[in-house]
Each structure stands twice: as C-alpha cells, then as structure tokens.
C-alpha cells in the first residue's frame, strides 16, 4: 500500500530525512514513533502529498508521488492535530463541504453514516466552534473517512485530549482501522499506541532506525524497544 525508497527531504540546507525506507502492506496499522524534531510530521506530510520529496521514490495506494498526487489524494484520509474544520459551519455543513470537494456520491446518505459512526448525530446542526476538542477530533476523523479512502494518516491525534476523549478516540480508531484500511499514525503516547497498532517503527536521525511487530514484541516491551532504538 505504501512503499518508500531512499526518501530524502531537505529544507534549504537542512536535511531532515536521509534516505528513509518504509513499507506498509494493505491492512497494517503502523505506529510511527520518534523524538520531537525527528521528522515524523515532515514524513507524514510527504505521504499526504502536502510536501514534495527532495529525492527518492514514494508510492501510496499504488500511485507515485508527486507525479500522481491527485490520485493519491482520492485514496487518502488525513487527521492532523489541527482540526481542519470550519468553526462557523455546523458539523453537517463541514462534512457537506468536504464531501463536495472530494466528489463523494450520494453525499447525504454518507454524511448520515459518518455522523452515526463518530457519534455526533445529535450535534449535527451545531457550530463546530462550540465543540470540545474531543468532538472536533471525532468529526475530523469523520471528515477523513467520508470518501472511503484506503489509507489513513494520523498525526498525533491524541494531542490536547483528556482521558475520556482519548478512550473514545481509540475506540473509533480501532473501528475505523478495522474496516480493512491501512493506517499510519505518529504518536508520543506509547501506552495508547501499544493497543492500537500492529507494528511499531521508530524514526530517528532521518531514517527508520528500528521496526517491530506487535506479536514479535510481546506485551509491555514497547517502552524498552523504543528506548533501545533511540540509544543506538
């Protein structure tokens, strides 16, 4: 589903990603871990077609980036730590807007489905700026899956959420990922990620320095694995 070979990203004279290799099979849920400033967000933005690679090959959902960016976007849903929602529109209007620019067919029906899934049906006519952060994130996930993408990218979605909201988010994430989608999620919260992902990759010094599957790791070993990966 996602194939990255020798990805290099430079900002002017600063090199952030140095020949990164990364591969994700369809249906996998990969947690991308790493210290601040390691380049996780940069990497995710490249996968999301929001940033161009300096060198290297990137394929998402079978299409090359940046050449076939439009096709990639059709199959991609992105949730970042910013809500990407319009505060002065209602939940329903936000979904309607995104549905229209994504060219989603049978939009009204789809909006109903999505609102039901994220548990916001009762608040559909409320302005998004009245929503709590947790509700905004849920709606953001709704926005991301509106057009039924095969690939989902989450950039630290738990940021700014309290315990309850995080739990609700995790339930939603599992459900959404469980529908056969491919997911890449960056996070700082190892405990949360441990239960969600099937694979853990560590990004440090501009490359993937370590990778382990959940089965391979066993329970409660994630923290050690992570620390070891950073130390090397």
Partner 1 sequence: MNNKQRTVEHKSASSFLGAVGAIIWKDLAAELRSRELLSAMLVFALLVILIFNFALELDPLTRRVATPGILWATFAFAGTLGLNRSMAVEKDRGCLDGLLLAPVDRSAIYFGKTISNLAFMLIVEAIVLPVYSVLYTTNLFNPGLIVVILLGSVGYVAVGTLLSSMAVQTRTRDVLLPILLFPVVIPILIAAVKASSGFLQGLALTEVMPYINLLIVYDVIFTSVAYMVFDFVVEE
Partner 2 sequence: MKPQPIFLKVLNVVSVLLFLATLSMVFLYAPLEATMNYVQKIFYLHIANAWVGMLGFIAAAAAGVIYLIKHDQKWDNIELAAVEISLVFFLIAIISGSIWARPSWGAYWTWEPRLTTAAILEMVYIAYLLLRQGIDDPDRRARFSAVYTIVGSISVPITFMSIRLFRTIHPVVIGTNSASSQGSFDMTSKMLATMFFALFTFSVIFVTLFWHRIRLGQLAQQVEQLKLEELQ
Query: What residues make contact with partner 2 under the rule CB under 8 A?
Result: 11-14
DSSP output for 123-178 = GTTSBGGGS-HHHHHHHHHHHHHTT--SEEEEESTTTT--HHHHHHHHHHHHHHHH
88 binding partner 1? (CB under 8 A): yes
The residue from 5, 19, 50, 132 that contacts partner 1 (CB under 8 A) is: 50
By beta-carbon proximity to partner 1, the closer residue of 36 and 180 is 180
By beta-carbon proximity to partner 1, the closer residue of 62 and 178 is 62
157 binding partner 1? (CB under 8 A): no
CB of 96 to partner 1, least distance (A): 8
Strands (E), the chain: 2-11, 14-24, 29-33, 55-60, 63-65, 76-79, 151-155, 182-186, 199-204, 207-213
231 binding partner 1? (CB under 8 A): no
CB of 109 to partner 2, least distance (A): 41
The residue from 2, 17, 38, 76 that contacts partner 1 (CB under 8 A) is: 76
State the Cα–Cα distance between residues 78 and 184, nearest whole angstrom: 10
β-sheet bridge partners, residue 32: 186, 201
Q: Parallel, antiparallel, or unpaired: how do β-strands 151-155 and 76-79 relate?
A: parallel
β-sheet bridge partners, residue 210: 202
CB of 15 to partner 2, least distance (A): 9
74 binding partner 1? (CB under 8 A): yes
- In whole angstroms, what separates CA 84 from the centre of its chain? 13
* Residue numbers at the binding site for partner 1 (CB under 8 A): 45, 48-52, 70-71, 73-76, 78, 80, 82-89, 93, 97-98, 100-103, 105, 127, 143, 148
């Amino acid at each position: 589903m996602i194939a990255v070979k020798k990805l290099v990203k430079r900002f002017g004279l600063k090199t952030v990603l140095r020949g990164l290799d990364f591969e994700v099979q369809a249906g996998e849920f990969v947690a991308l871990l790493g210290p601040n400033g390691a380049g996780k967000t940069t990497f995710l933005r490249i996968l999301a077609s929001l940033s161009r690679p300096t060198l290297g090959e990137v394929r998402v959902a079978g299409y090359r980036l940046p050449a076939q960016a439009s096709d990639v976007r059709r199959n991609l849903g992105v949730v970042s730590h910013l809500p990407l929602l319009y505060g002065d529109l209602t939940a329903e209007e936000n979904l309607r807007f995104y549905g229209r620019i994504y060219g989603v067919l049978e939009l009204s029906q789809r909006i109903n489905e999505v609102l039901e899934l994220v548990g916001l049906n009762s608040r559909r006519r409320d302005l998004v700026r009245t929503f709590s952060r947790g509700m905004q994130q849920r709606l953001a996930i709704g926005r991301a899956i509106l057009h039924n993408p095969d690939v989902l990218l989450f950039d630290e979605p738990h940021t700014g959420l309290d315990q309850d909201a995080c739990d609700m988010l995790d339930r939603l994430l599992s459900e959404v990922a469980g529908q056969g989608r491919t997911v890449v999620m960056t996070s700082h919260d190892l405990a949360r990620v441990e239960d969600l992902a099937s694979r853990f990759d560590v990004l440090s010094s501009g490359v993937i320095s370590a990778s382990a599957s959940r089965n391979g790791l066993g329970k409660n070993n994630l923290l050690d694995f992570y620390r070891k990966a950073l130390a090397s």
